[in-house]
């Protein structure tokens, strides 16, 4: 039995010297692209930007999902609205007091609003506005850098979010982000997220070209889960 898997490659971890080749190939295989935007304050790293999304848009019409790791979400949300980034996912830890306004602002622009829960942040923190969300991203690693330790207990949040969605009829998608690779495919798949963010260890570093890396990723998924990848 084949199973459609919504893969969202993390472009922070791609090989920039193969940028066009990788995007062109992935256009035919993925549902969306995941863009990490870090300001050097919320996490001690700098990463991609709205400008990067604009450049990538020249090569793809796939959905772009921005993952904000920033101390001033208001500043970045407006920039992403201006370039019509389809999904804007904000740090739950930094939108207390402005969550309703920012979600309304994103929806008024015809875009999708999401939040990201870092490992220490419980689902209960977003309950006041969870019914308004289009996506909830669960971090299964500490944010800010590739290659962090996988935190398996964070998968319990996916189960919790799925139960809340079924009970109340919420419409958000559940995304997991962090260390999606051969070692963890089985336990991640069992937790049943809607979207898998995948980066260096699960895709881009598996081979020296994106075609072979993709084939290896699919083989690892099928071997670990017993499901056919479609």
Is 147 annotated as ligand-binding?
yes
Is 52 annotated as ligand-binding?
no
Say if residues 165 and 130 touch (Cβ distance below 8 Å): no
Q: Minimal CA–CA distance to 203: which of 5, 4, 15?
A: 15
125 among known catalytic residues: no
Q: How far apart are CA 9 and CA 204, in angstroms?
A: 9
Is 178 annotated as ligand-binding?
yes
Of the residues 104, 131, 177, 194, only one is catalytic, namely: 177
Of the residues 31, 36, 72, 82, only one is catalytic, namely: 36
Q: Which helix (H) or strand (E) holds 157?
A: helix 155-168
Is 145 annotated as ligand-binding?
yes
Q: How far apart are CA 38 and CA 49, in angstroms?
A: 8
Residue 55 Cα to chain centre, angstroms: 19
Is 114 annotated as ligand-binding?
no
For the chain, report the end-to-end CA distance as a whole number of angstroms: 9
Is 179 annotated as ligand-binding?
yes
Is 110 annotated as ligand-binding?
no
Is 230 annotated as ligand-binding?
no
Q: How far apart are CA 132 and CA 172, in angstroms?
A: 8
Name, in order, each residue with C-beta under 8 angstroms of 210's C-beta and a sequence gap of 6 or more.
18, 21, 22, 25, 26, 204
177 among known catalytic residues: yes
Any idea which residues carry the catalytic annotation? 36, 177
Binding-site residues:
34, 36, 67, 144-147, 177-179
Write out the binding residues for substrate: 67, 144-147, 177-179
């Amino acid at each position: 039995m084949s199973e459609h898997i919504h893969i969202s490659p993390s472009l922070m971890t791609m090989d920039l010297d193969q940028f066009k080749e990788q995007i062109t190939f992935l256009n035919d295989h993925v549902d969306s692209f995941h863009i990490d935007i870090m300001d050097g304050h919320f996490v001690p790293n700098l990463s991609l930007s709205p400008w990067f999304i604009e450049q990538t848009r020249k090569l793809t019409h796939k959905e772009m999902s921005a993952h904000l790791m920033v101390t001033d979400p208001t500043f970045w949300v407006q920039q992403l609205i201006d370039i019509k980034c389809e999904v804007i996912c904000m740090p739950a830890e930094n939108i207390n007091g402005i969550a309703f306004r920012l979600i309304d602002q994103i929806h008024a622009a015809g875009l999708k609003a999401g939040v990201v829960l870092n490992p220490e942040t419980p689902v209960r923190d977003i309950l006041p506005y969870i019914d308004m969300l289009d996506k909830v991203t669960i971090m299964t690693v500490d944010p800010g850098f590739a290659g962090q330790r996988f935190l398996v207990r964070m998968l319990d949040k996916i189960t919790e979010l799925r139960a809340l969605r079924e009970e109340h009829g919420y419409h958000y998608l559940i995304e997991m982000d962090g260390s999606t690779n051969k070692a963890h495919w089985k336990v991640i798949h069992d937790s049943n997220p809607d979207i898998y963010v995948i980066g260096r260890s699960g895709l881009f570093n598996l081979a020296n070209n994106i075609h072979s890396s993709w084939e290896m990723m699919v083989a690892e998924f099928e071997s670990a889960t017993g499901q056919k990848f479609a």
